[in-house]
Amino acid sequence: MTKKTISEKLKDLIEEQKNLSFLNPKKAKDSEALGIIISQFFEWNGKGIFESSYSAFEDSNFHKFNEKFQKIWDKQYSEWKGGN
């Protein structure tokens, strides 16, 4: 028996999430199911979701995008916390 890679395990979880969350799982995108998994994993906490997204973009070398993404997050987070 061979060990499954992390990607293979994640793909299995994505397929399971599609079956749980969508009326037509075959039409659901992997990204949609993964988004649900991430949201639930972080218990709908925006900061965890942001940090995970930021890390994914950073790993994919979207550095310039992340500079803007960070500014947008900081502004929005400040507003949620009662700032301007």
Task: From first to last of the 84 residues of the chain, give the pLDDT tens digit.
Answer: 577 899 999 999 999 999 999 999 999 999 999 999 999 999 999 999 999 999 999 999 999 999 999 999 999 988 888 765
pTM score of the predicted model: 0.86
DSSP E strand stretches across 1-84: none
Counting Cβ atoms within 10 Å, is residue 32 exposed (0-12), middle (13-18) or buried (19+)? middle
Q: Domains of the chain: which residue ranges?
A: 1-41, 45-84
Return d(Cα 58, Cα 54) in angstroms, integer.
6
Return d(Cα 34, Cα 27) in angstroms, integer.
14
